[in-house]
Every structure is written in structure tokens, then in C-alpha cells.
Structure 1
């Protein structure tokens, strides 16, 4: 079964009216929470230069014994002159460490996460991402079952409270627990991605992703200036400042409506009418005219939330001098956009015990002609369950699974490369605050590229071009870093190409946020995006460790990044083009679409969409 044509409703209301902007703004502003808490480890977990701290008597003992000591990062090397020569011995740092910055400037220096405990600093980010991974098993299903709004808003409120509590962590155990919970509820914000995507019709759906990238980039650009302004304060003040940027979440419930597409897909017609009425007020449209235009003028409220189709119009066609009723399929498609089930597939009748389930009414017209030449219309209502999907439905269908596996790899690749470049930005040549700011700033050209390319050449080519730019930029940066030696100019050039690669991966990464939900039916859309988000966390969890590798082998991380991006370019060629495609409603629709959209590299809209448009124009 296919639900009502929601894109037609949005076009009637005005594709990008004040109501749609208000809906999308609620999601866009929540990206500040996502950005500040997701990447704050770069500053609150910064590891400055350090070395073993000298003891109180080390200087006096050296003068008496003639022993020289060299205080390195993780050991104290002692040199003693003997008759046989210089004896060299080493001992661990017995008196702790001294840092190039005050100890309270980051949790790494406050809790001495260096040397043998260095990995504990990265573990905090891993646990944050593990929380997000755990959230992928919970929130996508909740969002598809209970709606986008409650999951997004309630998750944001809990997210704010936990981020605020993190600033008052008294020890490492409490800190990592809060980090895990922050990541867990962060995943609930992903429902906003789906909500905003479902708020615009197909022809301008890419605006959601372009705006999301624009706001995300702006918030990421603010991360470094805020950290720089608070550089002389303890890290907890910085965490508190980042957390307060989510304080507005307590008002978000009254700022946001539920997704109209989700409401209709789940048969909540009364609620859909209220949302349309609210949208009419915001967009200054006449509610009655809108309802008539979308052929809902005869929609009435009932306890069962059903469609009551009355006053069936007569056709102007005349056969043997008699008026005949319109063909039932044409009528149903015109008025409700409900398609018939596949041949041989029976409708599921709602039992008495399932009366509380959301349902739609499918009207079937049995037309007969009486002997007197009069038409007799017999209406029979049949109740149909709204199909609910789970994550396991992805594995039941080969075509869906193959496309999903490609997307899983691309999400792992993009998250690993994107966050890996942020994590290693402090190791770039130059000031760490400036490097981070520039890494965020180069995402603005990605916004421009997406705006220019997504609708013109399609989602697939935009993603492939972005990944190719990343592969080339990072590949050149690898070569320059490997051959730089002690040349500062070579390291500076390598940093520039790193930023080019950052721009490319941002374009590719951002485009898959738009493409992925378009590859799944309505009641599986958030589940499909959630599984991809789970895979994303795999790459994100590996990314923090690239910082440790970069300090030892600077050319290795960009080399790995470049190879992974090149593989993504090749794999993405097998993903169907979704540009201009109506969002699929059922698995049956999706499978039929996949069968006709195998490997192709056409630039622009999906070729089947073009063909369907031409056929309609001819008719």
C-alpha cells in the first residue's frame, strides 16, 4: 500500500513557506549541540607538550653525585660517569609530569592521561561514540514507531542535562559515564534529519542538506573561537559553555510539529488535518482551498481516523447514452494516491482486538449497471494495517541489502576520514586553534558545491566528486609529508592539501545524509538511516586513535584516508540515483525501483523519473 501524496500537499502549501522554515529551523539549531559536544575533545582533551617532573632533591643529588638527568616524556634517563665510561639508566616518571600548559586546561592534563595511560584520553571519545552506537538500536525504531518529534525533542532535553552535568564531573569514571550518555541521546537528534527531509517536496529536498551543512559548518567554526576565548580558564568552563548552547531545547516542543509524512503514513488523518491547518496559518493559505486542491475536501473526522469518500463525481464519458462512474483505480489514485496491492497480495483485515492500531480505509467500488440503465455504486470498506518494518527487513531483500552494504562502507569511510582530520588538526603545521578553524572554514565551499550540484547532476555524482577530491587532496598531502623532511614549506603545502581533502570529504559526507534516507521506504527510513549511523560510529570510534598515530608517523593517516575515499568512489557508482524521485512508501515500491536502477552513471535526474515525466506530459 502507498500512502497519500505528501509532496503534492507541500507544493499546495508552498514548497518553502514560513511553516517549513520553522520546522527545519528546529532541527538546524539542534546541530549546535551535536557539533559542540561531538568534537569538543579536541580542546577539552588537548594533550600539550609534557615531560617527567623533577623531584625536589634531584638537582641537589645531581650536584653531589655528578649524575646528569634528562627528563623525557615518559622516562627519566640518568647518566653516571664511571671508570668504565658513562653508565646510562632509565626510570619511569616517579613524580608525575609537568606540562606546557596549566594542568586544569584539559582533562588529559588534569588526570595525567599520558604515557601508559595515554589511550584513556582517546577512550573518552570512543565511549561517547559507543553511546551513539547504542542509541542506533533504540532511537530509529522509536522514531519510526512513535514519531520524529518526541524522539528528537526529548533526546535533546536529556542531552542538554547530561552535557551540563559533564562539566561538574569530579573524577574520570563519572566523566566517561556522562560522555557515554551524551552520545546515546545525541543519536536521538538524528530523528530531526528525517523530519526535515520529510518537510519538503522532492524537487527542493536537497535544500535540507545544504542548509544543514551550512549551519553545521557555522557551528564548527564557532568551536575554535570559543575555545580560544576560554584558553586561560579550566576545561570545565569550556564544557559548561558548550552545554549551555543546548539550553533552548526545553522550549523546542512548542516550536516543532510532527512530520506530516509520518502522520499520514501511520493513518493519523485527524492529526494530519491539524498539521495542515497550522501550516496554512503560517504560510497564509486558505485552509478550505488547500483541502480542496489536495482532494481532501470530503475528508471527515471519525473515531477510526478514516477517509470517508463521498460525493463520487460522475464521468463526462458517455457509453450507449448512459453516464458511467469514473474508473475506481483512477478515482482512488486521484483522491488519495493509494495504490493497489501487488497481484495476489491480500489486504490484511484488522481484528477486533487491534482496534487501537492506526488504520486507513481503502474504498473499493463494485460497479454494476441495472436493467433500467441506471448506475449502481456499491461501496465496500476494507481496513488495512499500516505496515511496520524492522532492521531485519533489510536482510530479507537482496537488492536492498546490497545497496545498504555499500552505504555502510561509505558511512564508515566518511566518518573515519572526516573526524580523523579534525582529530589530527592539532598536528598540522601551525597554530592548533587556527588549523581547526580553517578545517571548519573549508566546509563553506562544500555548501556551495552541494547547492550547485545536488539538483543538477544528482546525489550520486555529487558524492563521487566529493570523495574523489578528498582522495586526490589527501594523496598529495601524504606525498608531501613523506618527503618533507625538515622543510617547513613542504609541511605548509601538505596542510593546504589536507584542507582540500577536508573540503572534499565534507561534500561527500554531507551528501550521503541526504541520499541515505531517500533509499528506504517511509516506515523503514529512520531504521535505514539508523543502521548507517551505527556503521558511522565504527569509523568515528577509530578516528581518535589517528591522533596518536599522527604524532609518530605523520604521513600514515592521510594515506589511509585517501585509499578509503578512492574505494568509496568506485562503490558509489552502484548506488541508485535518487534525484527527483518520490520518496518510496513500501518495500514493494522500493524493490521495483531498485530493479530498474542498477549500475548507471547518468548525470542529472534519475532516468526513470525523466521517462515517467515524459509519459505524463504525453498523456
Structure 2
């Protein structure tokens, strides 16, 4: 239970860190008294691209981190790498608060992106998706009061960075190393201790032979790369999931970051666009269990496409624009959370973590492009609508996984469907 609670907390602090950019890179002419990065360094007109570049730098760093951190985790273990990443996020965030220029700030945000480790504590089960989704929303919404209290962007980045140290401490005290890593490294005695602790809560785990777990994991990993590119159907699934992850990342961060650019109270607009995720994370698991994974992912993309197309014809000052924006955010949030579960059921057991990590790393391409949706008032909506339609259509190339036995190998995944 403590591991689940702490894992949820990591989603909260990661949301605070990632989404604080919505206020840091926004000109706060209609904020309370906060001085943003744009205000301090006059990043307007021909210099406006610099503020967007700091967001892009964070996403590029996250893409690099997907490779660098994952290799470190495979070599040294998930637990020490996770703790180290939280410490580095806190340290780099504190340094960013003292940045003497926007360029230095962007550089430090790039370095923070490398250690942004949400994929290490990803959500792969329907039962936990609601909890982790709510933890993310809590962090997302906490940015609002912090932005209202912070006198300038320096204090805001400091406020969202310090909690990383608290999270690192909790992980050190209560979170064990992953069974996956221990099995691959053939730590049979430690695996036995891990299974004994798990057996206190799950009777069906206590009687598992540790040597069986170790030998099975070792055999699966040794056969992984020899099979990966020999099954074209599985390759198709991977390409579709990479596109969907990119699509959802691009839309999610684009909608979230641009919410502070609406007419009216930017705090209320940002909070509203965040709160719509609550019903999304409650309803999407229910819908997935009733109608299936494929239908939910496809229809939520098509719903998002319809709302974005409607925004093309909606005046900037109309209240319905905010409503359509929130509906689009609801739809894409449903899809985003569903993708985590759906992908974990499509990818076979022996490469599940590797494949999901790869998809998330590739999705940073969408995150890199997200801030540049401000270039034109109409073109971004058309682009969002188009990529959502494509996402909804190609989802039907994926297999349905509801109430079906999950594949253990790539061969099973490609031949079963």
C-alpha cells in the first residue's frame, strides 16, 4: 500500500514540475502580481520564440532522458535511479530559479527534462489508472494556487522543485527495487525476500519459487531482440501506438499550456482545463471495461477532433470556446490514460516495460511541437482536428484486449490477432 501511495505522489510532483510552465512562459498582464519569464526578459514580438524554446528544451531533454535514464535503470536498478532523478530535479529546479537569463533557464530546463522520470512509475492497470490519474490532476491543479502566491516565476519554479526532495526521501525509505530488475540480474535471494513481502498481501505470490522467476526472466530477455523485427503485425501495432502517444502528448500539452492564453481569468481557465480530467479518469476505466479498449481510444480521439474543428468557427471571446476547449481536453485525457493500459495489454510480457518506455520517449516529439501551436489562431485547431481523426481511425488496426489472455511473447502477440 505504501508503494502505491508513494507512486501516486510521484505523479503529483511530476505534474507540478511539468505544468508550471503554463504560467512561467505566459505574459502575466492579467495575472495577480506575478512577474513571468516573459515579463522579466521582455520575450515578446520577435523574441517570443525564446519562451516557447524553454518548453521545447524540457521536452527534448525528456527525450534524451528516455534513453539515458532507462539504460542507467537497467544497469543500476529502478530504485536508485528513481531516487537520483528526484534529487536532480530538485537541484536543477533550484538552480533554474536563480537563472541570470532566459537562455540559462532553458538550458537548466533541458537538464531537468533528462531526469523527468514519470515513465519509471507508469500506470499499466485499469484498477490503478483512476488513482494515478487523480494524483496527476492534484499536482496539475496545485500549480494554480502556487502561481497566485508566487511573486515571480523564480519562486514558482522553486515551489514546484523542492517537493522532489521529499518524494526522493519517501522512495528511499519505503519503495523496494523492482522484481523485474532483480530477476534479470539473477538476485535469487533478494527475489525470494521480495516475494515473501508481497506474499503477506497476496497469498498466490508466497509459494512462487524464486529460481523459476529468475530463469524465466533471463530466458525472455535473451530472446527479445532476435524476435522483435520478425513479426510485421506486431511492428504495425508498435507504429500505431507510437503515433497515438505522439498525438495525445502533442494535444494534451498544447491544450494545457495554451489555456493561460484565453480571455478572462487565466487561473480559472487553467484550473477548469485541469479539473475536466477528473471525470475523464473516472469514466475512461469504466468505459474500457464495458465497451473495450479499442472503441474507447478511437471514439475519444474522434470526439476530440470534433471539438477542435468546432473551435475554428468559435469567436475568441465566446464562453463556448472555453467549453469546447475543456471538452477536447476531457476527450484527450480519456484517451491518454487509456493508452497506458491498452499498450500494456498489447505488448507481450517480456518486452512490456521496454516497449512502453520507447513509446513514451518517441511521444516527446509531440511535446516538442506543442508550444508552437500559438503561431496561428486557426491553423492549430485544424491540425489538432486532423491528427485526432487519424488517431481515431488507425486505432481500429489494433486488437481488442478486453477479457482476453494477454500475450507472453512477441510471437503470441503477432499470431494471436
Q: Normalising to structure 1: TM-score of the pair?
A: 0.62
Alignment match of 1:438 (pick from 272, 276, 290):
272
> Residues 38 and 392 of structure 1: is their aligned pair in 2 closer, same or farther, counting only changes over 3 Å?
farther
> Residues 524 and 596 of structure 1: is their aligned pair in 2 closer, same or farther, counting only changes over 3 Å?
closer
Alignment match of 1:227 (pick from 110, 125, 147):
147
Report what 2:191 is aligned to: 272
Query: Going by fraction, where is strand more abundant, 1 or 2?
Result: 1
In the TM superposition, what are the counterparts of 1:160-199 in structure 2 within 5 Å?
A: 160-186=90-116, 188-193=117-122, 197=124
Q: Secondary structure at the match of 2:377?
A: coil
Report what 1:29 is aligned to: 9
Query: Quick one: distance in 2 between partners of 1:516 and 1:152?
Result: 23
Q: Tell whether 2:332 aligns with 1:509.
A: no
Alignment match of 1:245 (pick from 163, 170, 179):
163
Report what 1:456 is aligned to: 290
Q: Secondary structure at the match of 1:246?
A: helix
Q: Tell whether 2:79 aligns with 1:149.
A: yes
Post-superposition offset of 1:145: 5.1
**Maintained 8 Å contact 1:429/1:495:** no
**Maintained 8 Å contact 1:144/1:523:** no
> Residues 537 and 253 of structure 1: is their aligned pair in 2 closer, same or farther, counting only changes over 3 Å?
same
Q: Tell whether 2:87 aligns with 1:260.
A: no
Q: Secondary structure at the match of 1:454?
A: helix
* Ranges in structure 2 where 5+ consecutive residues have no aligned partner: none
Query: Quick one: distance in 2 between partners of 1:143 and 1:399?
Result: 29
Post-superposition offset of 1:402: 0.9
Report what 1:43 is aligned to: 23
Report what 1:570 is aligned to: 393
**Maintained 8 Å contact 2:248/2:335:** yes
Post-superposition offset of 1:150: 2.9
**Maintained 8 Å contact 2:32/2:148:** no
Aligned residues: 416
Report what 2:244 is aligned to: 410
Query: Quick one: distance in 1 between partners of 2:389 and 2:37?
Result: 37
Report what 2:324 is aligned to: 497
Post-superposition offset of 1:396: 4.5
- CA distances 1:151-187 after superposition (whole Å, capped 9, x unpaired): 323222222221222112223343222101110000x
Query: Quick one: distance in 2 between partners of 1:104 and 1:495?
Result: 23
Tell me which structure has the larger Cα radius of gyration.
Answer: 1
Q: Secondary structure at the match of 1:576?
A: coil
Higher RCO (C-alpha under 8 Å, 6+ residues apart): 2
**Maintained 8 Å contact 2:9/2:167:** no
> Residues 279 and 471 of structure 1: is their aligned pair in 2 closer, same or farther, counting only changes over 3 Å?
same
Q: Secondary structure at the match of 1:34?
A: helix
**Maintained 8 Å contact 2:259/2:269:** yes
Query: Quick one: distance in 1 between partners of 2:205 and 2:411?
Result: 33
Alignment match of 1:236 (pick from 154, 157, 169):
154
Query: Going by fraction, where is helix more abundant, 1 or 2?
Result: 2
- CA distances 1:268-323 after superposition (whole Å, capped 9, x unpaired): 43222211222344x3x78xx964xx4x4xx5xxxxx745xxxxxxxxxxxxxxxx
Query: Quick one: distance in 1 between partners of 2:33 and 2:149?
Result: 18
Report what 2:127 is aligned to: 207
Q: Tell whether 2:401 aligns with 1:421.
A: no
- CA distances 1:402-460 after superposition (whole Å, capped 9, x unpaired): 11111111111111111111122123232111100000011111012123122222222
Query: Quick one: distance in 2 between partners of 1:428 and 1:128?
Result: 23
* Ranges in structure 1 where 5+ consecutive residues have no aligned partner: 1-20, 50-99, 198-204, 300-304, 308-335, 337-357, 362-383, 598-619
Q: Normalising to structure 2: TM-score of the pair?
A: 0.90
Query: Quick one: distance in 2 between partners of 1:151 and 1:457?
Result: 38
> Residues 109 and 184 of structure 1: is their aligned pair in 2 closer, same or farther, counting only changes over 3 Å?
same
- Kindly report structure 1 stretches of 4+ aligned residues shifted beyond 6 Å: 100-104, 389-393
| C-alpha RMSD of the superposition | 2.8
**Maintained 8 Å contact 2:28/2:34:** no
**Maintained 8 Å contact 1:149/1:192:** no
